[in-house]
């Protein structure tokens, strides 16, 4: 199986071949600003307690973190939305590794600020074996310290390429999570935490699996 980052790099290369550099400049500027803000260093670190959450899945049923943790370790994957090809590639990688994840006694939930309806459409197009949860206005992402507001110039860029984030998320806040992955142990402690200011970079799922306790 190819590495996830190799797949993401291929998406980036294809985009750069098809789109003029000046049209990609807002993305580069936004990534640079996020790096400069220090947001990567502000996330909940390993050893901290993960916040509890209760969020609706793609069918509107509420999924509670406490119920999941009662069954074993939980990987919490924050993604931007179904409009993001990098996010979809990451979710597909987790789909392919999910049998191994379950063999180790762990679960996974994917969380984005898009609406329940948008998550339902995602699953119709890309069936996934794990819950996809709706985090309105990035309330839970905020508690994990991975949420931010898209700057105005980047909002204009998304409008130009017809990515209507307020419509997808059902609110006008332009709040998004950074792509982030946490491994939460049954006692609520965080055993793995990684976030990237550059949306084109994600941790390899195998790195997260390696953080699972061998006895799980």
pLDDT score recorded for residue 22: 83
Q: What is the pairing mode between strands 147-149 and 132-134? A: unpaired
Domain boundaries 4-39+48-211, CATH class: alpha beta
* Helices 152-160, 21-37: crossing angle, 10 deg rounding: 150
Quote the pTM value.
0.93
pLDDT digit string, tens, across residues 31-82: 999 999 999 999 999 999 999 999 999 999 999 999 999 999 999 999 999 9
Q: Please give the C-alpha separations between residue 199 and each of 35, 63, 135, in angstroms, as whole numbers.
A: 11, 26, 19
pLDDT digit string, tens, across residues 125-140: 999 999 999 999 999 9
* Domains in the chain: boundaries: 4-39+48-211
pLDDT digit string, tens, across residues 154-192: 999 999 999 999 999 999 999 999 999 999 999 999 999
Q: Among 72, 146, 153, which Cα is nearest to 109's? A: 72
pLDDT digit string, tens, across residues 2-26: 899 899 989 999 988 887 888 889 9
pLDDT score recorded for residue 215: 37
Phi, psi of 134 (to 5 degrees): -105, 120
Residues 6+ apart with CB under 8 A from 59: 116, 120
């Amino acid at each position: 199986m190819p590495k996830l980052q190799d797949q993401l790099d291929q998406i980036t290369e294809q985009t750069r071949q098809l789109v003029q550099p000046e049209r990609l400049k807002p993305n580069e500027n936004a990534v640079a600003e996020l790096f400069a803000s220090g947001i990567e260093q502000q996330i909940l670190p390993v050893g901290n307690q993960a916040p509890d959450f209760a969020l609706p899945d793609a069918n509107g049923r509420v999924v509670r973190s406490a119920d999941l943790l009662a069954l074993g370790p939980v990987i919490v994957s924050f993604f931007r939305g179904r409009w993001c090809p990098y996010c979809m590639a990451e979710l597909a990688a987790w789909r392919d590794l999910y049998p191994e994840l379950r063999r180790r006694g762990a679960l996974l939930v994917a969380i984005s600020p898009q609406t329940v309806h948008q998550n339902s459409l995602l699953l119709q197009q890309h069936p996934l074996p794990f819950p996809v949860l709706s985090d309105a206005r990035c309330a839970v992402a905020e508690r994990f310290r991975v949420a931010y507001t898209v700057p105005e110039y980047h909002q204009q860029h998304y409008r130009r390429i017809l990515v209507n984030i307020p419509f997808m998320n059902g609110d006008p806040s332009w709040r998004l999570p950074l792509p982030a992955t946490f491994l939460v142990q049954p006692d609520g402690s965080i055993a793995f935490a990684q976030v990237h200011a550059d949306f084109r970079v994600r941790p390899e799922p195998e790195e997260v699996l390696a953080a699972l306790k061998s006895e799980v």
